[in-house]
């Protein structure tokens, strides 16, 4: 080295670095690995904006692993401590609130983008031959992700988490024969307690993340062995005998390495996703915790997280007789159909313009889940527990009433009728609005409904004195909108029988 | 392995007696190794499954729990009572304090209801004025005697086994009631 002083130091350094790299590459085979992974060839058409959702979901997972691990630095999964460590994280630990918010919003983004990815894969026919295992591993990834979302809401160990576990146990308890044992297995004992939380913690931070990483490896391995789906064209059909040759020809003709030439849009989408999570975390903050998980506090209205709202709605709206069947048998059937999809629909057209059934399925599924989620959030079937003390009565429903009718209004308010019945939209939505009830029901009908109940209304006969019933019905029958007639019994003619007959004769 | 052209898979390239001898020894060791590991795997599985599935198999041993003197429950009233889960752990915190509704009609005629709605387990709330239990989740309602009044619940409220001993109300509790195990 001393004999070649004219070589610039920079060149010498580069030579040395090159030597180190070549040595490492010889030992680790990095370039070889790169050619078969990041640098693998993809069809040029697949470097599309529609193909960014998979990598974006993976990005969310990576963020969840980082933020989740950091939260575990502080969080204590114990029934006595979890809630106070959540409060400490939110209010005292520097940036603890932000990490909690990132983990929460990261999960919302992950589930959302995962379903966008699944929808795109379905609409673009990417599940078809020969990508069956890619699809099935993706379906299992979806289930594991939802499992992480459910166990994650238990980690936020507040009253919603506590009663969410109660709902889970109630569903599991409907399993025939071994329901009780399964409930005890799920809860880690006969009742929701600290062991339940420890159990869900182990599932949330060890079992499911380990499973998801293994499945992601399989999912990506399948993308490498069978290639990413080419951008479908109408009229281009999948035939098992020829497809792989056609795909190889596409790669040969217009293949580009995924990195660096095909990854640009993924990177752009990744920055949008990170930006979105950071924005939501900073702007909306973390979710909860709500009140502490004290079951003895009955002043609670348990609600699941957003992505389980639809189940909450289904549980309210299903007819009783099919409920157990729907809760226990339908999910496995749906999952089996999803798994079987590439086998009974593995060939033929891929482009959505030639697959009207696929498009209709997507529209139906999105509409159904959208409506159910909306209903779950508004939950009109739930009584408003505070309506009877907190909700006002509109002035026009008080003015000009007789003393008897006003007594009836007091009965209506005191007997919690408003918890289920609104007046002009104010109050519970479980039963019909009473603003026009005098127009719909006659006095005898009102009396029967109040005393005997029926149509999902409890009977109040035992809880009301005859005087209270009189007053209540007087008030209710006064509830007729201006310019409308009170309800009349169609079976009792307003005029005596003979006169009616004469009228008919004329 | 059965492909005759595939020479590489044969354990030994030589066909001599010594070679096949070695081959059979390797074969034996392979079988022995697999066999021993099956046994070892079984031995590992017993404690692992026994530990993990413990709560699946174990039946909790319920004791009588004291809810206090019966005088604190007025005749003709229903009120919330809270008891300590008899199976509680020291790190359970507030989750060990289990609520229930005690209804006293007359004299020593008591009914003790679990707080969990029979539909999906949400905590029902007692309304003294309308004498109804209402559930905040899916709109289930029960009459004061616990029978089903309206909404999706498949049955009336779960009740605790109870007795009165020297003027005190005792119940058997500590299990989350579900349709599979309605007798808490």
Nearest to B128 by CA among A91, A463, A252: A463
How much is the pLDDT for A505? Answer: 46
Nearest to A138 by CA among A117, A158, A153: A117
CB atoms within 10 A of CB A72: 14
Distances (CA, A) of B8 to B22, B142, B156: 16, 77, 73
How much is the pLDDT for A269? Answer: 97
The tokens describing B26, both together, are 């390797």
Distance of CA B39 to the CA centre of its chain: 32
Q: Given phi > 0 = left and psi -120 to 50 = alpha, else beta, which region is A253?
A: alpha
Interchain CB contact of A74 with B (< 8 Å): no
How much is the pLDDT for A3? Answer: 56
d(CA B111, CA B146): 9
CA-based R_g, chain B, Å: 31
CB pairs under 8 A between A and B: 204
Q: Which residues of chain A lie closer than 8 angstroms to B116, CB-CB?
A: 166, 170
Q: Which residues of chain B lie closer than 8 angstroms to A174, CB-CB?
A: 178-180
d(CA B92, CA A77): 11
CB–CB contact B120 A299 (8 Å): no
Question: Does an H or E element contain A498, and which?
Answer: helix A497-505
d(CA A196, CA A199): 5
Q: What residue has token string 């030579």?
A: A15
Q: Which residues of chain A lie closer than 8 angstroms to B113, CB-CB?
A: none
Best residue of A198, A200, A296 to probe chain B, by most B CBs closer than 10 Å: A296
**DSSP class of residue B72?**
G
Query: Which residues are B132's β-sheet partners?
Result: B127, B143
How much is the pLDDT for A8? Answer: 86
How much is the pLDDT for A462? Answer: 87
**DSSP class of residue A487?**
P
d(CA B86, CA B97): 10
Pairing type for strands B141-143 and B148-150 reads: antiparallel
How much is the pLDDT for A482? Answer: 87
CB–CB contact A179 B181 (8 Å): yes
High-pLDDT (> 90) share of chain B, %? 75
Nearby residues of A409 by Cβ (< 8 Å), 6 or more positions away:
A393, A397, A398, A401, A475
How much is the pLDDT for B1? Answer: 43
d(CA A31, CA A46): 24
Q: What residue has token string 């238990």?
A: A154
How much is the pLDDT for A392? Answer: 92
Express the helix, strand and coil content of chain B in percent, nearest 5 each: 25, 30, 45
Nearest to B161 by CA among B176, B169, B172: B172
pLDDT of B180 strictly over 90: no
How much is the pLDDT for A274? Answer: 97
DSSP output for A194-251: HHHHHHHHHIIIIIHHHHHHHHHHHHHHHHHHH-PPPPP-TT-EE-TTTHHHHHHHHH
CB B53 within 8 Å of CB A185: yes
Classified as helix, coil or strand, B131 is: coil
How do the pLDDT tens digits run along chain A, 506 residues long? 455 567 888 899 999 999 999 999 999 999 999 999 999 999 999 999 999 999 999 999 999 999 999 999 999 999 999 999 999 999 999 999 999 999 999 999 999 999 999 999 999 999 999 999 999 999 999 999 999 999 999 999 999 999 999 999 999 999 999 999 999 999 999 999 999 999 999 999 999 999 999 999 999 999 999 999 999 999 999 999 999 999 999 999 999 999 999 999 999 999 999 999 999 999 999 998 999 999 999 899 999 999 999 999 999 998 888 999 999 999 999 999 999 999 999 999 999 999 999 999 999 999 999 999 999 999 999 999 999 999 999 999 999 999 999 999 999 999 999 999 999 999 999 999 999 999 999 999 999 999 999 888 999 988 899 999 999 999 999 999 888 988 888 776 665 555 444 444 44
d(CA B48, CA B69): 46
CA-based R_g, chain A, Å: 32
The tokens describing A448, both together, are 């029967």
Put simply, the chain A residues between 386 and 425 with a CB less than 8 A from any chain B CB are 388, 414-417, 419-420
User: Which chain A residue's Cα is nearest to B153?
Assistant: A320
Pairing type for strands B64-69 and B77-84 reads: unpaired
Classified as helix, coil or strand, B181 is: strand
d(CA B14, CA A182): 59
Query: Which residues are A255's β-sheet partners?
Result: A43
Edge-to-edge strand ranges of the sheet holding B64-69: B64-69, B168-172, B162-165
d(CA A255, CA A327): 47
User: Which chain B residue's Cα is nearest to A452?
Assistant: B149
pLDDT of B184 strictly over 90: no
CB A101 within 8 Å of CB A284: yes
Q: Which residues of chain B lie closer than 8 angstroms to A381, CB-CB?
A: 138-139, 151
Torsion of CA A185, A164, A202, A177, to 10 degrees: 20
CB A42 within 8 Å of CB A255: yes
Q: Which residues of chain A lie closer than 8 angstroms to B149, CB-CB?
A: 453, 458-459
The tokens describing B150, both together, are 């309206």
d(CA A304, CA A6): 73
Average pLDDT (B7-13) is 50
Mean of pLDDT over chain B: 88
How much is the pLDDT for A288? Answer: 87
CB B119 within 8 Å of CB B125: no
d(CA B56, CA B58): 6
Cis check for the bond before A260: say yes or no (omega within 30 of 0).
yes
Classified as helix, coil or strand, B31 is: helix
Confidence band, pLDDT 50/70/90 cuts, at residue B63: confident
How much is the pLDDT for B57? Answer: 84
Residue B174 is nearest to which of A169, A191, A312, comparing CB atoms?
Answer: A191
The tokens describing A250, both together, are 């596409």
How much is the pLDDT for B174? Answer: 87
Nearest to B96 by CA among B83, B80, B77, B114: B83
CB–CB contact B56 A182 (8 Å): yes
ipTM: 0.87
CB atoms within 10 A of CB A488: 10
The alpha carbon of residue B82 is apart from the nearest alpha carbon of chain A, in Å, by 7
**DSSP class of residue A393?**
-
d(CA A136, CA A144): 12
CB A39 within 8 Å of CB A257: yes
Q: What is the per-residue pLDDT across B67-105, written as a single tens digit (0 to 9) for each? A: 999 999 999 999 999 999 988 999 999 999 999 999 999
Residue B134 is nearest to which of A175, A292, A383, comparing CB atoms?
Answer: A383
How much is the pLDDT for B76? Answer: 93
Distances (CA, A) of A434 to A85, A228, A424, A441: 47, 59, 7, 10
Q: What residue has token string 């509704």?
A: B101
């Amino acid at each position: 080295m001393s004999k070649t002083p004219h070589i610039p130091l920079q060149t010498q350094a580069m030579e040395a670095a090159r030597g180190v790299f070549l040595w490492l590459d010889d030992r680790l085979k990095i370039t070889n690995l790169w050619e078969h992974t990041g640098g693998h060839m993809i069809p040029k058409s697949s470097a599309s904006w529609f193909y960014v959702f998979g990598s974006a979901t993976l990005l969310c997972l990576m963020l969840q692993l980082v933020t989740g691990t950091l939260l575990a630095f502080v969080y204590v999964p114990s029934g006595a401590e979890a809630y106070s460590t959540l409060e400490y994280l939110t209010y005292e630990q520097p940036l603890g609130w932000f990490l909690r918010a990132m983990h929460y919003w990261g999960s919302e983004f992950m589930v959302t983008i995962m379903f966008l990815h699944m929808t795109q894969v379905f609409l673009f026919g990417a599940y078809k031959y020969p990508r069956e295992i890619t699809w099935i591993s993706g379906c299992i990834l979806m289930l594991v992700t939802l499992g992480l979302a459910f166990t994650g809401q238990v980690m936020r160990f507040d009253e919603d988490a506590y009663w969410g576990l109660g709902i889970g146990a109630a569903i599991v308890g409907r399993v025939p024969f071994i329901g009780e044992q399964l409930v005890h297995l799920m809860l880690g004992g006969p009742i929701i307690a600290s062991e339940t939380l420890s159990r869900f913690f182990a599932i949330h931070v060890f079992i499911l993340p380990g499973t998801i990483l293994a499945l992601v490896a399989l999912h990506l391995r399948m993308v490498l062995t069978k290639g990413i789906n080419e951008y479908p064209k109408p009229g281009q059909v999948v035939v098992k005998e020829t497809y792989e040759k056609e795909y190889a020809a596409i790669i040969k003709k217009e293949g580009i390495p995924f990195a660096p030439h095909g990854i640009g849009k993924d990177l752009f989408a990744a920055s949008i996703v990170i930006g979105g999570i950071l924005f939501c975390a900073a702007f909306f903050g973390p979710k909860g915790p709500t009140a502490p998980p004290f079951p003895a506090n009955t002043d609670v209205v348990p609600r699941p997280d957003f992505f389980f709202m639809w189940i909450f709605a289904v549980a309210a709206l299903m007819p009783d007789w099919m409920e157990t069947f729907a809760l226990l048998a339908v999910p496995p059937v749906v999952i089996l159909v999803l798994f079987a999809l590439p086998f009974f629909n593995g060939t033929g057209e891929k482009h959505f313009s030639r697959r009207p059934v696929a498009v209709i399925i997507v529209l139906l599924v999105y509409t159904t889940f959208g409506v159910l989620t909306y209903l779950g959030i508004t939950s009109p079937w739930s009584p408003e527990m505070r309506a009877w003390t907190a909700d006002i009565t509109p002035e026009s429903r008080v003015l000009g009433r007789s003393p008897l009718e006003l007594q009836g209004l007091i009965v209506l308010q005191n007997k919690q009728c408003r918890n289920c019945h609104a007046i002009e939209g104010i109050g519970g939505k479980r039963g019909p609005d009473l603003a026009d009830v005098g127009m719909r029901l006659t006095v005898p009908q009102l009396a029967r409904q109040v005393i005997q109940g029926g149509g999902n209304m409890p009977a109040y006969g035992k809880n009301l004195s005859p005087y209270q019933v009189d007053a209540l019905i007087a008030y209710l029958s006064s509830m007729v909108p201006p310019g409308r007639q009170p309800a009349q019994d169609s079976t009792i003619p307003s005029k005596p029988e003979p006169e009616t007959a004469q009228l008919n004769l004329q | 392995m059965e492909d005759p052209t595939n020479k590489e898979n044969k354990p030994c390239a030589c066909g001599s007696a010594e070679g096949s001898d070695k081959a059979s020894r390797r074969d034996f060791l392979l079988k022995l190794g697999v066999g021993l590991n099956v046994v070892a795997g079984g031995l590992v599985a017993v404690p692992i499954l026994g530990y993990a599935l413990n709560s699946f198999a174990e039946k909790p041993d319920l004791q009588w729990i004291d809810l206090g003197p019966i005088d604190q429950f007025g005749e003709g009233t229903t009120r919330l009572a809270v008891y300590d889960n008899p199976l509680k752990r020291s790190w359970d915190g507030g989750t060990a304090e289990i609520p229930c509704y005690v209804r006293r009609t007359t004299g020593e005629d008591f009914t003790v209801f679990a707080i969990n709605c029979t539909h999906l387990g949400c905590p029902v709330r007692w309304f003294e004025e309308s004498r109804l239990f209402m559930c905040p989740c899916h709109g289930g309602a029960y009459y004061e005697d616990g029978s089903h009044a309206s909404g999706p619940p498949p049955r009336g409220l779960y009740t605790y086994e109870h007795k009165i001993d020297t003027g005190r109300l005792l119940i058997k509790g500590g299990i989350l009631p579900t349709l599979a195990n309605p007798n808490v």
